[in-house]
A = this chain, B = another copy of it.
Amino acid sequence: MSVKVAVAGASGNAGGELLRLIEGHPELVLGPITAGTQVGSSVSEVHPGLAELGDRVFEPTDTAVLEAADVVFLALPKGHSSRLAAELTPSVRVVDLGPDFRLTDPLAWEHYYGGPHPGSWTYGLPEIPGARERIAGARRVATPGCYATAVILALGPLLAAGLIGPDDLVVTAVSGTSSGGRAAKASLSPSDVLGALRSYTVGATYRNPAEMEQELATFAKAPVTVSFTPFSVPMPRGIVVSCSARLRDGTGSDELRAALAEAYLDERFVRLLPASRWPATAAVTGTNSALLQAGADTRTGRGVVLSAIDNLGKGAAGQAVQNANLMLGLPEDAGLTTRGAS
């Protein structure tokens, strides 16, 4: 079997990681690759690590170009995917890496993003119970955001098991700079980034909680609220999130760990670390893995789950390939690795 795939937005950080994974995939063959401002540039100018794709040139992001493929990956900014998707033949399989089709609630969309709700696609986090089957049957899949992936994997099983309360989740995310996208900004000059650990927002305006709350509510069978604070650190890749929740009475570290171990017993890409070991980004760089650890602080009545992923791997391109594998009936781990390069 050999499936032709296209990548729109292939010049960005997530797009480049898609190219890398597709080139090493045993069943996928790279078809058209498109870009915006980088149209006409060669791959090796933008992604020098991709030597064997060096002669490939970015084409304009155009429906006719993309439809020559069996699967289309969209690695585009907010709003661009929905415009493009409206023109793509329904029979083409599409995996979106952007936010356009993640939220099911039109009011939440309008509140956080503004404008008319573009609709919602199958939510592509395969380790959510039942999701694997939905993804396998879908023609359109919305790959989750990187923060949401890390948080849902960490807290979902504990909410489902009733070990933590749903109404006072406090999440702090620390991430490398590739989460911020590749477009040049004077506000993030290399010199600034290199010297600085920084937080970059607090409070109600940040969009990420909407996606987390939507999905965690299905685990909790109750409304969920997440208070979210992101940090940026001077590293190229990687995210670790700290997820704090109120413990239900009698819950200790053993119960938290047991619930996570059971939830991911048969999962290849999500792994609870041994006790006294803590997630670090080095172990997940270049992989599709998520590493988890949990502990109960009975003194304060709070439990903490730590979760590490590569924001470009399980947080974007890796998970997108995992979704495509499911949609195509391929082995779920085809072209993906759990062995960290650093």
Contact = CB atoms under 8 A, between A and B. Distances in A.
Interface residues of A, number: 95
A198 B279 contact: yes
Contacts of A63: none
Nearest to A180: B190
B197 A194 contact: no
B49 A342 contact: yes
B339 A44 contact: no
B341 A341 contact: yes
A289 B244 CA distance: 29
Contact of A197 (B23, B49, B280): B280
Contact of A196 (B23, B52, B282): B282
A235 B52 CA distance: 26
A158 to B, nearest CB: 14
Interface string A174-218: 101110101111101111111111111111100001000000000
Contact of A236 (B44, B191, B199, B306): B191
A151 to B, nearest CB: 14
A188 B192 CA distance: 12
A50 interface: yes
Contacts of A24: 337, 339
Contacts of A183: 186, 189
Interface stretch (A81-89, A91-99, A293-301): A293-301
A259 to B, nearest CB: 16
A134 interface: no
A77 to B, nearest CB: 15
Which of A50, A180, A202, A242 has the most B CB atoms < 10 Å from its CB?
A: A202
Which 5 residue pairs of A and B lie closest in terms of their CB atoms, listed nearest first?
A: A49-B340, A198-B280, A286-B341, A202-B295, A49-B283
30 contacts: A48-B280, A48-B340, A49-B284, A49-B341, A51-B338, A52-B339, A54-B274, A168-B301, A174-B233, A177-B194, A184-B184, A184-B189, A191-B237, A195-B237, A195-B282, A197-B238, A197-B240, A197-B280, A198-B278, A198-B282, A198-B308, A199-B279, A202-B293, A203-B295, A227-B300, A229-B304, A231-B240, A233-B233, A233-B234, A286-B341
